[in-house]
């Protein structure tokens, strides 16, 4: 573990060179290096309160990959006067998320969970589009801090009872409902659960493409990762209260799907679709079945790549038309026919098409929820139908229809943009060949 940490710290001098491609090349090498450290169900590589199992391994690999694609998507910032600061924010965000997913202590996880919000806030404040980005950043900070302070108090109380905060040394505790909510609420806001999701659309709309990618790709997964970790010692209470959280998740996912079907802003539509998918993952975690946990984990990895790729496509359209409105952006099949295939594949993956990781995750989640309570079948049918509706709604409105007079007809595509979308699609649709890696969790 310390070898990997020092190899990441070795990237620090590269930030002063301000070379985007060299930094990306080192991240690709680090990602390849991580593939050889594939671990299985047991917790391994333990050193200095850091360790890794298959859950941490997949999310760290996703983090390194998304940060590399963030640098690739924000190439225009290289020509601004804040390019070096942008590289520093990306690097420290990568470092904090690496520590967060590698921590075997609940307190260290909380510490780096909060530290990762600081570079994210600077990405929204410093490289956002509109003056309303200040309000969006404050939403993000206050929603998260308001819910995470009880988590800190709960961790201190846990330490006073057990003398340790390590995940695997804590047994099922004799707590009450309020202490249970202290441990769970911060992760529900971060995921986010419906009723606590209002910070997410505003943060996505006002953030730059790099901020949207890291929010959708990795930061939403911190909540699910935390719930999976605390479920090992909160199993008794999650079993008692799971009916309320699963019901709220299914209702919330249903209504957010309806909201997606009437959205005119492409970024808001993709953001609300993230809330729908995370609601399904939350229901799988609170079903407390093996297939529910595994399905939530696979869906989080798949959603991190799929949603990040959709935000990249929305940004490519926005750079041409200077608008995110579906009413303005029509007929891109004529302007950019080569990107129509990317739109179709990503929208199909967003609805759970075959051979993508989304399909495997959603199938396992549907199995777990149906085995939990069979009456969830109606909600799951409508949920799957709405996912198809808003995905095809987004694809058809952007790529078909009459051209708007506001669009510039001299549209040029760049190789960098093709690489950016391809690097999202390739792992998303090729990991089914090695799906037995995830089955080691069973």
Contact 194, 253 (CB under 8 A): yes
pLDDT at 430: 87
Contact 194, 255 (CB under 8 A): yes
- Give the separation between CA 400 and CA 381, rounded to whole angstroms: 28
- Cα 110 to Cα 149, 154, 235, distances in angstroms: 10, 11, 20
Contacts of 197 (CB under 8 A, 6+ apart): 252, 256, 275
According to DSSP, the residues that pair with 50 across neighbouring strands are 47, 103
Structure-block tokens of residue 442: 């069973």
Residues of the chain falling short of pLDDT 70: 1-3, 6-7, 14-18, 37-42, 78-81, 172-173, 405-411, 440-442
* Of residues 334, 268, 317, the one with CA closest to residue 417: 317
Contact 241, 282 (CB under 8 A): no
pLDDT at 311: 92
pLDDT at 202: 83
pLDDT at 296: 92
pLDDT at 46: 75
pLDDT at 346: 92
Which DSSP string corresponds to 37-94? Answer: T---SS-EEEETTEEE-HHHHHHHHHHHHHHHHHHHHTGGGGGSTTHHHHHHHHHHHH
């Amino acid at each position: 573990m310390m070898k990997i940490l020092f190899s990441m710290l070795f990237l620090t001098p590269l930030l002063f060179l301000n070379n985007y491609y060299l930094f990306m090349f080192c991240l690709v090498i680090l990602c390849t290096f991580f593939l050889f450290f594939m671990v299985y169900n047991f917790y391994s590589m333990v050193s200095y309160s850091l360790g890794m199992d298959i859950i941490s391994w997949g999310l760290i690999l996703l983090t390194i990959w998304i940060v590399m694609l963030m640098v690739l998507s924000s190439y225009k910032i290289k020509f601004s006067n804040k390019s070096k600061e942008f590289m520093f924010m990306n690097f420290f965000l990568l470092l904090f998320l690496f520590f967060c997913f590698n921590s075997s202590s609940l307190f260290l996880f909380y510490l780096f969970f909060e530290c990762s919000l600081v570079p994210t806030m600077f990405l929204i404040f410093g490289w956002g589009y509109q003056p309303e980005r200040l309000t969006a950043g404050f939403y993000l900070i206050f929603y998260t801090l308001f819910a995470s302070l009880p988590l800190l108090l709960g961790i201190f109380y846990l330490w006073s009872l057990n003398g340790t905060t390590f995940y695997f040394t804590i047994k099922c505790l004799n707590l009450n409902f309020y202490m249970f909510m202290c441990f769970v609420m911060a992760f529900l806001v971060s995921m986010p659960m419906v009723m606590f999701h209002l910070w997410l659309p505003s943060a996505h709309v006002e953030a730059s493409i790099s901020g949207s990618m890291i929010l959708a790709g990795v930061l939403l997964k911190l909540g699910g990762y935390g719930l999976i970790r605390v479920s090992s010692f909160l199993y008794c209470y999650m079993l008692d209260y799971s009916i309320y959280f699963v019901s709220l998740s299914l209702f919330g996912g249903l209504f957010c799907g309806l909201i997606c079907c009437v959205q005119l802003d492409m970024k808001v539509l993709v953001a609300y679709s993230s809330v729908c998918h995370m609601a399904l993952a939350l229901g799988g975690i609170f079903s407390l079945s093996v297939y529910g946990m595994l399905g939530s984990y696979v869906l989080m990895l798949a959603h991190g790549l799929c949603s990040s790729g959709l935000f990249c496509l929305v940004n490519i359209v926005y750079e041409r038309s200077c608008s995110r409105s579906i009413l303005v952006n029509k007929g891109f099949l004529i302007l950019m026919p080569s990107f129509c295939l990317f739109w179709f594949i990503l929208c199909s993956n967003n609805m759970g098409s075959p051979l993508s990781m989304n399909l495997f995750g959603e199938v396992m989640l549907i199995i777990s929820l149906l085995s939990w309570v069979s009456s969830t079948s109606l909600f799951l049918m409508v949920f799957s139908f709405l996912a198809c509706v808003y995905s095809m709604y987004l694809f058809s409105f952007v790529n078909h229809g009459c051209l708007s007079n506001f669009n510039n007809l001299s549209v040029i595509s760049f190789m960098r943009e093709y690489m950016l979308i391809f690097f999202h699609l390739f792992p998303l649709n090729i990991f089914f060949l090695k799906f037995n890696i995830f089955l080691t969790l069973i």
